[in-house]
Amino acid sequence: MNNEAADETQVDALLDESSDGVDMSGTVTVLDSKHVYQGAIFGVDDMRIALPMRGGGRTVIRRQVMRHAPCVVMLVHDCANDRYLIEREYRIGCDAFAYGLPAGLIDGGEDVEEAALRELREETGVEPTGHDGIEFDHVGQFYSSEGMTDELANIMVLHLRAWHPVERHFDGDEHVESAWISWQRLRDTRITASNSMIAILHEQFGETGKIQPKVLSNRKNNRRTTRNYDLGAKT
């Protein structure tokens, strides 16, 4: 058993002390699932789920889950000028014109890097020049809100060594502003999107103190992605 697995076993043992009888090492069974809503971006399933009990048997719970395609979220760094891309657009969840980072859905057949480059080009008009023009720092995969949706955000930092402007392309109902700003101005800007903040804090924590990467299976595209967590300090 490796150290990480041993640590998780110890954590599980501590959590078991507060158990109400549900066996959280057991198998969850979906009893039934009804697709009750489908919109342009997401759908909703209404589900009955059986949780195993420690003494045998099971307890049944009901949950609704928002089905959402995986997405990419990227902090984009212009290395030559030491600037970062910021965006602003209307976000229905917070009912505001919100600051954030370039992001978007992964289209069918794309890998995460292809999706990131497409979204970067479409939303901001920025395109890396040549294969050496960009370095991908894959921060990891994180569920946006695992209590209600299966949306999996692939978060990364894009370090641009060379790039050139291209024409932007938006969907008919998409209205996005973008600008290059300094690191300090980025950190002083009120960004409320949690996925954007993960990317920013990863960059802030910097170059030292790397933790052993974790690997999370992506059941939507059958890929495995490495998480890197940095615990240094960006100056």
- Number of helices (H), then strands (E), in the chain: 4, 14
Residue with token string 């057991």:
26
The answer to whether 105 and 116 have CB atoms below 8 angstroms apart is no
Using DSSP, state whether 9 is helix, strand or coil.
helix
For residue range 153-192, list pLDDT tens digits in order.
999 999 999 999 999 998 888 899 999 999 999 999 999 9
Residue 94: φ, ψ to 5°: -105, 0
In the chain the domains, ranked by start, together with CATH numbers, are 16-67 (no CATH), 69-229 (3.90.79.10)
Mean pLDDT across the stretch 208-229?
37
**DSSP output for 79-99:** TTTTEEEEEEEEETTTTEEEE
How sure is the predictor about 1, in pLDDT bands with cuts at 50, 70 and 90? low
Mean pLDDT across the stretch 18-24?
95
Looking at the predicted structure, is the pLDDT value of residue 224 above 70?
A: no
Looking at the predicted structure, is the pLDDT value of residue 221 above 60?
A: no
For residue range 128-158, list pLDDT tens digits in order.
999 899 999 999 999 999 999 999 999 999 9
